[in-house]
């Protein structure tokens, strides 16, 4: 029988590439549900092509428009709102949930999917950034496998297959460095969102592209790696690798290093999460190792303070990563709208971390309170 897939965030970069994987393997996978936040026209077009059992538009103001667009497809149930998003992942036919939503909004539906014992294909890194300890406990309690979709974490996961009993000495987490890798501090002070959105190797959504430019995205990935692979932060090393060919590597106790290489194509980690432990054929370009040299550099934590703040939040623990994430979502949006400078993002995040109530042993309700408080403080600081 075909595996039934629910895609949270089907109109974004990860969601659209996941649908391409499903197109290539329509004999194995079928879309059960598609969701989006605002892109109602695109969601309707996807629904017409893939004919899911249901669609959800998170922004309720678009509900009537979506109903109108799908009037000629009466078999597709149409829902709206955050609660519908959380409930749909529990549907009995669903085998796996691809969490491709961006930001804190992905936390609640991911928790519901875990409690429904669904296989989680995790592309929403903020879920583990905000509530890594809670999520890992729930995954164990409900026997819900979590397979990483981020290219770096998929690479680490692939390197660890067959290495269950072997000690990890270090995780080598690669990073393109973004468009400003060689900029001076003075140059960084004047960059714009348009400059930051010109990522050198990856095609991603606007929020993640800005996070990549500030290296906050890499800080989030350090946190994600800690929870996915049970490795402390001091054993996770970030390497600037402009070519984005080595997606990450693992160094073992004997000094041996295993790396996963490939062209920058997110369909590969998406498909691997769907098909694990099988490797299916994927159409697309192949890696040419003769094409360019591979280079690695240390990140500059003074120029790119967001990465340093992420390590600090991880070291502090408790609800501090939740504070970091909430403040970052506020300043990221402000930078894109021209209300905050590039270097100012890190300053506001740091001040928010100092001013928001710290709790060492948070539960889910704590995360909800913390997120709201940190957003308010960051907004005031703007």
* Residues annotated within a binding site for Mn(2+): 150, 152, 221
Nearest CA among 304, 315, 301 for reference residue 353: 315
DSSP assigned state of 61: G
Annotated binding-site residue numbers = 11-14, 124-126, 150-152, 176, 199, 205, 212, 217-218, 221
Q: Which helix (H) or strand (E) holds 298?
A: none
Could you give the CA distance from residue 58 to residue 362 in angstroms, rounded to a whole number? 27
Buried b (16+ CB within 10 A) or exposed e, 64-76: eebeebbeeeeeb
Could you give the CA distance from residue 48 to residue 44 in angstroms, rounded to a whole number? 6
Please, what sign has the CA dihedral across residues 145, 151, 153, 157? positive
Question: How many CB atoms neighbour CB 276 within 10 A?
Answer: 16
Could you give the CA distance from residue 21 to residue 186 in angstroms, rounded to a whole number? 43
Could you give the CA distance from residue 267 to residue 25 in angstroms, rounded to a whole number? 12
Whether residue 329 contacts residue 106, with contact meaning beta carbons closer than 8 Å, is answered with no
Whether residue 17 contacts residue 267, with contact meaning beta carbons closer than 8 Å, is answered with yes
Measured at the CA of 232, the angle between CA 144 and CA 310, to 5 degrees, comes to: 95
DSSP assigned state of 25: T
Whether residue 179 contacts residue 200, with contact meaning beta carbons closer than 8 Å, is answered with yes
Annotated binding-site residue numbers for 1-deoxy-D-xylulose 5-phosphate = 125, 151-152, 176, 199, 212, 217-218, 221
Annotated binding-site residue numbers for NADPH = 11-14, 124, 126, 205
Q: Rounded to an integer, what is the distance from CA 197 to the centroid of its chain?
A: 17
Nearest CA among 359, 345, 353, 324 for reference residue 128: 324
């Amino acid at each position: 029988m075909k595996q039934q897939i629910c895609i949270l965030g089907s109109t974004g970069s990860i969601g659209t590439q996941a649908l391409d994987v499903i197109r290539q393997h329509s004999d194995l996978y079928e879309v059960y549900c598609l969701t989006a936040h605002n892109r109602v026209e695109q969601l309707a077009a996807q629904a017409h092509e893939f004919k899911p059992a249901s669609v959800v538009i998170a922004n309720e103001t678009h509900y009537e428009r979506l109903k109108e667009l799908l009037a000629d497809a009466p078999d597709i149930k149409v829902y709206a709102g955050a609660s519908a998003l959380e409930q749909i992942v529990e549907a009995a036919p669903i085998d796996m949930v691809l969490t491709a939503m961006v930001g804190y909004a992905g936390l609640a539906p991911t928790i519901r999917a875990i409690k429904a014992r669904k296989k989680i294909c995790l592309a929403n890194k903020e879920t583990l950034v905000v509530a890594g300890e809670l999520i890992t406990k729930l995954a164990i309690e409900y026997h819900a496998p979590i397979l990483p979709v981020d290219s770096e974490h998929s690479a680490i996961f692939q390197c660890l297959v067959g290495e269950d009993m072997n000690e990890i000495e270090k995780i080598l987490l690669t990073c393109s460095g973004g468009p400003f890798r060689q900029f001076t501090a003075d140059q960084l002070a004047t960059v714009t969102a348009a400059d930051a959105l010109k990522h050198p190797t990856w095609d991603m959504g606007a929020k993640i592209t800005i996070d990549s430019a500030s290296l906050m995205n890499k800080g989030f990935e350090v946190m994600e790696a800690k929870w996915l692979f049970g490795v402390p932060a001091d054993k996770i090393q970030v390497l600037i690798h402009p070519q984005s060919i080595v997606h990450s590597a693992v160094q073992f106790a004997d000094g041996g290093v295993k790396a996963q290489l490939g062209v920058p194509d997110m369909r590969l980690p998406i498909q691997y999460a769907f098909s694990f432990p099988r490797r299916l054929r994927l159409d697309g370009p192949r890696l040419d190792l003769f094409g360019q040299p591979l280079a690695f550099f240390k990140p500059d934590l003074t120029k790119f303070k967001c990465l340093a703040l992420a390590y600090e939040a991880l070291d502090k623990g408790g609800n501090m990563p939740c504070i970091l994430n909430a403040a970052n979502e506020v300043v990221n949006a402000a930078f894109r709208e021209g209300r905050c400078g590039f270097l100012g993002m890190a300053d506001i995040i740091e001040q928010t971390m100092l001013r928001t109530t710290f709790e060492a042993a948070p539960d889910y309700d704590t995360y909800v309170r913390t997120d709201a408080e940190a957003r308010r403080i960051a907004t005031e600081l703007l």
